[in-house]
Structure 1
């Protein structure tokens, strides 16, 4: 069965966004080898706001070939958007009800793993429904003091097994866990 992987940047104090939605603190080092992660997935799960911001994003015309290739790779993936608003979109399938059932159906299909992109509301829903198999949390060397926390109002403990850690030149530390609750 395909795994759902939350791959996400967080600040040292546990925020996934600043108080105004800012993510300008995120670092993408070339030694992070994010392309390897992208090669391991063929599907991306978005919330509607994240999809509207990034799911169809196109780099500017003067962007370099690496950035254009990066976005071409992202846009080559199957996309599902979880939203209370049903909508037709040629680039994605919108899911507006029965999230756990639909996710189980998608996971059972043949293919590579699935990236739970977010946003915050969708991530919380997947945590509450115990749908995340792997947590790839990249802790960035910055504290914001406020913003949207990754873990908020958990109904029960979230127990994880550490699989591995990776440290990058920038000081970002990636922690990869699997869920014990599965």
Structure 2
């Protein structure tokens, strides 16, 4: 069965965005092997706002080959957008109800794992609904003091078991957990 993987950058003080939505603090080390992660998935889950910004993003003209390859890899995946809006999009399937049931159906399909991309509202819904199978959190060596927290409005404790730790040249530490069920 496919797994839902939350792969996300977070600041040392627990924010996924700065107070104005900024993510300029994110570091992409070559040794993070993001291409390997992309190869391990075939599906991406977006919230509507994140999809509108990043779901069809194209790098600027003159972008390097590595950035172009990264976005080609992202755009080659099946995309599902969880939104209250019902809309037709040739590049994604919109889901507006029965999230738990729809996720269960998608996980039963053949193929590779699923990247829970976000945004924050969708991530919160997935955490509260117990829909995340793997938490792959990359802690960046910066503290913002305010912004959008990763864990917000938890209704109950989230118990996690550490599976692996990766340390990168930049000082980013990646923590890979699975929920204790």
TM-score normalized by the length of structure 2: 0.99
Residue 176 (structure 2) pairs with residue 172 (structure 1): no
CA distance in 1, matches of 2:46, 2:146: 24
CA distance in 2, matches of 1:71, 1:16: 21
> Counterpart in 2 of 1:49?
49
Matches within 5 A, 1:7-26: 7-26=7-26
Question: What is the root-mean-square deviation in Å for CA atoms of aligned residues?
Answer: 0.5
TM-score normalized by the length of structure 1: 0.98
> Counterpart in 2 of 1:64?
64
1:153 CA drift (Å): 1.4
CA distance in 2, matches of 1:80, 1:117: 10
CA distance in 1, matches of 2:64, 2:166: 27
1:64 CA drift (Å): 1.4
> Counterpart in 2 of 1:127?
127
Where structure 1 has 5 or more consecutive residues not aligned to the other structure, the ranges are none
> Counterpart in 1 of 2:118?
118
1:61 CA drift (Å): 1.7
1:65 CA drift (Å): 1.4
1:43 CA drift (Å): 0.1
1:147 CA drift (Å): 0.3
> Counterpart in 2 of 1:137?
137
CA distance in 2, matches of 1:32, 1:24: 17
1:107 CA drift (Å): 0.4
1:69 CA drift (Å): 1.0
Q: Which whole-Å deviations, capped at 9, do the CAs of 1:79-123 have from their partners, x for residues lacking one?
A: 000000011000000000000010000000111000000000000
Please give the secondary structure, in 2, of the residue aligned with 1:142. coil
Q: Which whole-Å deviations, capped at 9, do the CAs of 1:104-152 have from their partners, x for residues lacking one?
A: 0000011100000000000000001100000000000000000000001
CA distance in 2, matches of 1:127, 1:60: 34
CA distance in 1, matches of 2:138, 2:68: 23
Please give the secondary structure, in 2, of the residue aligned with 1:84. coil
